[in-house]
Structure 1
Amino acid sequence: MMIDLASEQPLSWKDKLVGQSSKDDTNGSKGKEDFVILDGDIQKSFVNGVPSITFSDRIHQFLIQGMKNTVILKLLGRNIGFSILQNKLYNLWRPSATLHMLDIENGYFLIKFQNKLDCEKALSEGPWVIFGQYLMVQPWTLSVDPTQAYPRIVMAWIRFPGLPSYLYNHKIITEIGGLVGKVVKLDMNTDSRARGCFFRMAVYVDLDKPLISQILMNS
């Protein structure tokens, strides 16, 4: 991977994501982020005249842990400003603690939650719509590539109209939904059968694969 260096970056990654300078940290988070670099953790060299740096698996795992309760989001079909999006998210999610936001590129934003339940709500509830456009919300992973205009994997809400009511079983519906993509959440109305014919589920869909619009099932 080659990284282009920006000409100026007045704020560090931590300052942008956490929203405060580490000098003003009074919650002990600084100690959690500090770690000891051991011999062999970092290797520096030149590859075809280009400076190269390699980090050990131990360093990578430590840094990945720091991304816990972080999601990446993008408003599909429309660009949105930082402040406007921030206000919309607070109105939509009503988080119990402050959200820390970082705009990256191509309309992607990173959101760091202080509360695990707030993060789970953002991921599992919805769908979220802002200005009539779908707000894609995904867990942050190493495979996230903000250089792409659109993500390859998206979470989508789907329904199975006409599904016989005797199949309204959590495990059975999860198996059926698994034919479309990885099931993230089932609408609770499915279990209560209060609105069974309108049940829905959230699944991860690979946009590089053909769209599944029908499922055959014995009855």
Structure 2
Amino acid sequence: MSNEGNSNWQFSLIGQVLGLNVKFKTMESYIQKVWTHWSVPDLCILKPGLFLFKFQNKYEMEDILMNGPWFFGSRPLLLKVWTNDDDIDKMNGNIYPLWIQLPGLRLNLWSSNAISKIASHIGRPIATDKLTANKQRLAYARVLVEVNMPSPLPDLIPIHGPNGKIINQKVIYELKPK
């Protein structure tokens, strides 16, 4: 198989509204209204209720991811970065991007490696918000993780401290799927 077509979609997100089969025109109106301060991507329908949002560049795509979570009414718009391995026929919405907060994170753990390692107890870390990346808000670290549901979502993550003592790091889910 050829990878020629990858460049067409490399700055794309796949998205769906949790629990709703949103029509194309409705989604198109939504992104034009809600994402107007950012970049409005080209919209493609992959299958009923599942969309591809095609951006001009990586920065536009990441801006939308970083400024989430997004809601369609009271329901979350679930977004994930498109990859060449995505099989549209097998997509059934089991992978959810979740924003988590790690309140009171110890200062010695404020590194991208440590935060990523902690977040990986929940899922695959995708990104942190700008305040976390720049260490400007130390009350909590905010991380976007990709979680394959159903899977356990712990409220505490045990961390081995430098002296061997276990520290329980609290986790807050900005939106916890049922």
Query: Do these two structures clear the TM 0.5 threshold for a shared fold by scoring above it?
Result: yes
Once the 2 structures are TM-superposed, how far is the Cα of residue 85 of structure 1 from its aligned partner? 1.5
Q: Structure 1, unaligned stretches of length 5 or more?
A: 1-56
Q: For residue 119 of structure 1, what is the amino acid of its counterpart?
A: M
Q: Output the TM-score relative to the length of structure 1.
A: 0.62
User: Once superposed, which parts of structure 1, at least 4 consecutive aligned residues long, lie more than 6 Å away?
Assistant: none
For residues 114 and 152 of structure 1, do their structure 2 counterparts lie closer, same or farther at Cα, with a shift above 3 Å needed?
Answer: same
Larger radius of gyration between Structure 1 and Structure 2: 1
1:164 equivalent in alignment to 2:106: yes
The counterpart of 2:28, out of the listed 86, 111, 114, is 86
| Greater fraction of residues in helix | 1
Residue 154 of structure 1 is matched in structure 2 by 96
**Residue correspondences, number:** 161
Residue 73 of structure 1 is matched in structure 2 by 15
Q: Distance in 1 between matches of 2:105 and 2:64?
A: 28
Q: Distance in 2 between matches of 1:70 and 1:192?
A: 26
The counterpart of 2:83, out of the listed 118, 141, 146, is 141
The counterpart of 2:142, out of the listed 200, 213, 217, is 200
Residue 166 of structure 2 is matched in structure 1 by none
Q: What percent of counterpart residues are identical?
A: 26
Residue 130 of structure 1 is matched in structure 2 by 72
User: Deviations along 1:128-166, whole A, 9 cap, x unmatched?
Assistant: 112111111112224434445732322111112343344
Would the aligned equivalents of 1:158 and 1:201 in 2 still touch at CA under 8 Å? yes
**The 10-residue stretch of structure 1 (73-82 or 86-95) with the greater mean CA deviation from structure 2:** 86-95
Higher relative contact order (CA 8 A, sep 6+): 2
Residue 115 of structure 2 is matched in structure 1 by 173
